[in-house]
Amino acid sequence: MTVSVIQFGGSNCDRDAVAALTHLGVDAERVWHEDGLPADTDGVVIPGGFSYGDYLRAGAMAARTPIVAEVREAAEAGTPVLGVCNGAQIGCESGLTEGAFTTNRSARFQCEHVHLRVERADTPWTAAYDEGAVIEVPIAHGEGRFEIRADRLETLEAENRVLFRYCDADGNVTDAANPNGSTANVAGVLGARDSVAVMMPHPERATLPDVGGTDGQGVLRAFAE
């Protein structure tokens, strides 16, 4: 498995993602977006950061680059694709996943640890957890509030495509545990296939034991299969 971690101008979690994947024994390399997706790509991470300076909307510009069209084709062919933070914004902007991530309810950039409830354990991203498990991972975003049309949320939930919800330490999904005002406390969703996922919290920042917490490892283990 060779994972391509796509680097745009303004990406800043690309090295973290490579370090975390390498720690788990996964072969991963950074790929500059203008060079296109390497032919031996078996998995894709769209990392966090501020691609294109968040111009227009976070992720809007990167979502319309040629490499993301290649990522969409790869995703449709079954290649696992994970978008984290800015990568999640790019995923929604590009149509890989539904909904949009927009300005936090607080109107502030928030950098803190949050709890997530694992909504499904039968996906590559969550196979390491039990359904209903609570994991602790960091968030670092100003535009992480999940928004979606009410009828599309109904479909998303009916199709069981919510992967993680913000919760308290005991797993209760409450408004107080919702850091950014996300609709239905949604922190991460699946695409049309279970092999495509986006999430605002950072699993790669909760993987190396030295930097505090390893609860995020399970998400990245999808690439170790």
Partner 1 sequence: MTGYTATVTVRLKHGVLDPEAETTARALERLGFELEDLRSADRFEIDLDAADADAARERAGEMADRLLANPTIHDYEVAVEARE
Q: Across the strands, what pairs with 102?
A: 145
Annotation marks residue 204 as catalytic: yes
Nearest Cα neighbor of 118 from 171, 170, 194 is 171
**One of 13, 85, 92, 167 is an active-site residue; which one?**
85
Q: Please, which of residues 162-181 interact with partner 1 by CB under 8 A?
A: 181
φ/ψ bin of 91: left (φ > 0), alpha (ψ from -120 to 50), beta (otherwise): alpha
Q: Please, which of residues 35-64 interact with partner 1 by CB under 8 A?
A: 56-57, 60, 64
Closest distance of CB 153 from partner 1, Å:
11
Q: By CB under 8 A, is residue 145 in contact with partner 1?
A: yes
Q: By CB under 8 A, is residue 149 in contact with partner 1?
A: yes
Q: Which amino acid is at 136?
A: E
Annotation marks residue 202 as catalytic: yes
Strand order in the sheet with 81-84: 27-32, 2-7, 43-46, 81-84, 196-199, 186-190, 162-167, 110-118, 134-141
| Closer to partner 1 by Cβ: residue 22 or 110 | 110
For partner 1, the binding residue among 47, 49, 80, 99 (CB under 8 A) is 99
Site size with partner 1, rule: CB under 8 A: 21
Segment near partner 1 (CB under 8 A); pick from 109-117, 125-133, 141-149, 158-166? 141-149
Q: By CB under 8 A, is residue 100 in contact with partner 1?
A: yes
Count CB atoms within 10 A of the CB of residue 204: 30
State the residues that interact with partner 1 by CB under 8 A.
56-57, 60, 64, 92-93, 98-100, 102-107, 145, 147-149, 152, 181
